[in-house]
Structure 1
Amino acid sequence: MSLQAQLDAFKADFEAGKPPYNVPPAVIKTMHRATAELIASGAADRALKTGDQAPEFVLKDPEGNAISSADLLKKGPLVISFYRGVWCPYCNMELQALEAAKPEFDKLGASIIAISPQTAPNSRKSVRQNNLTFPILSDPKGDIGAAFGLRFSLPDYLVDLYKSMKNDLPNFNDDPAWTLPMPARYVIDRDGIILYADVNPDYTLRPDPEDMIPVLTAAT
């Protein structure tokens, strides 16, 4: 089953309010409103695209080790997934799909990393929960996400909803600002040029890892 098919199946159960989710229709309506407004804002159009130069960065993994994008690019192309956090089931399903595709990426000499604004303990939870073997990096205050044009501020009504659901982003991210990155997937070549970019303000839509294989094959 493709990643998107898995996401669609989860979404159908979640939005139908089936156990164990039991989500009220009013909550789903608010989430739909926020997604529609983010799409209408054109934020995704302002994110970095294919052909753009990717910014260099150094971020830490959950154990405090500094991971440099420049060092990774010396080895080959780099796959980057920007995700919202371990609290997001859609993100966790994407991370699992990327882990399943990692052997194919390895064959093509590509490195893979995932980036979120969450703290190191939450990144460790991402690794454990999803049985990951690739680096999960913390992006304090979402600065690298912003450099890629992905960071956005949650509207007040969505902040209120998150608070009511005990989804405390300031605690998850150690940042008082209620911001998140739009989910995004990039492939960057050795020269730092973006070869593949998928940015979607609808967090329930994610590209299949296999979509990047032709790009990685051409880059090797």
Structure 2
Amino acid sequence: MSLQDELNALRSELDKQVPPEANQIMEDLILDLKQMDYAAKGPQTGDNIEDFILPNIYLNKQVGEKIQDFILKTHLGEEVQLSKLLTNGPVVINFYRGGWCPYCDVELNALQRALSEIEANNGQLVAISVEAPDQAINTQATKKLDYLVLSDVDCKVAEQFGILFDVTPGYDGMLNSFGIDLKQHNDADKSQLVIPATYVINTDLTVSYAFLDEDFRKRADINEIIDTLKKLKN
């Protein structure tokens, strides 16, 4: 079963459990993000990157673009610098919403299962969220993740990638009704999330693969990630 198949099965189960009004709030949020074009389509196979014009005012990182270096801390307070990781090979960056999100739970576990194949193709896997460090500790520990889990506590990296957004009051209230207080969970002054995104960054800081979708129930195809790493390896 593919990751998206797992996510679709989860959605079917949750749709039965979540009140209709809550489902509508989720759909409204996704529609709002799509109308703002948060995840503009990147270049397709065979496109000339130089000829591609980004239609996205939020400047999501697209295939062929270069990104800035960044430094984040692990849940243990150790600094991790992207450029230093890249000296050992390409880096797979996965932005997830939070350990509280059931769709992120499925995705993070699927990436854990694929970790050996990612590493066999010279890839390094890093998961980033705007969760507070103690929440990142919990996410990594409870899910038994063997890859780096980093806290973007001031949201600077998420802003750099153009995937950060302010949560609507309706969505924020819905999460609170489920016992999820984003401000408290993220140790932040306001409720913010990222749209789920996955990138493969080549050693020269160029984006070799990019997946973004405003619909948090959709995630990157792990086979595509591994295929990208294989191409870079060869």
Q: What is the TM-score normalised by the length of structure 1? A: 0.95
- Say yes or no: does 1:84 pair with 2:97: yes
Residue 164 of structure 1 deviates from its aligned partner by: 2.5
AA in 2 matched with 1:14: L
Residue 166 of structure 1 deviates from its aligned partner by: 2.2
Residue 130 of structure 1 deviates from its aligned partner by: 1.5
Alignment-derived partner of residue 183 in structure 2: 170
Question: What is the correspondence of 1:1-220 to structure 2 with a 5 Å cutoff?
Answer: 1-17=1-17, 23-45=18-40, 46=56, 47-220=60-233
- Runs of 4+ residues deviating >3 angstroms: none
Mean CA deviation greater in 39-48 or 128-137: 39-48
- Whether the 8 Å CA contact 1:142–1:181 is kept in 2: the answer is no
CA distance in 1, matches of 2:87, 2:223: 23
- Whether the 8 Å CA contact 1:142–1:180 is kept in 2: the answer is no
CA distance in 1, matches of 2:226, 2:178: 38
CA distance in 2, matches of 1:177, 1:209: 32
Aligned CA RMSD, in angstroms, stands at 1.0
AA in 2 matched with 1:138: S
- Structure 2 regions of 5+ residues with no counterpart? 41-55
CA distance in 2, matches of 1:88, 1:148: 21
Alignment-derived partner of residue 20 in structure 1: none
- Whether the 8 Å CA contact 1:55–1:148 is kept in 2: the answer is no
1:64-123 superposed Cα distances (whole Å, 9 cap, x missing partner): 111110110000000000001111010111111111111111111111100000011111
AA in 2 matched with 1:8: N
Provide the secondary structure at the position in 2 that maps to 1:64. Answer: coil
CA distance in 2, matches of 1:130, 1:210: 21
1:115-153 superposed Cα distances (whole Å, 9 cap, x missing partner): 000011111111122110001000013210110010011
AA in 1 matched with 2:6: Q
AA in 2 matched with 1:68: Q
Provide the secondary structure at the position in 2 that maps to 1:186. Answer: strand
Provide the secondary structure at the position in 2 that maps to 1:51. Answer: coil
1:164-202 superposed Cα distances (whole Å, 9 cap, x missing partner): 222111111111111111100000100000000001110
Residue identity over aligned pairs, in percent, reads 31
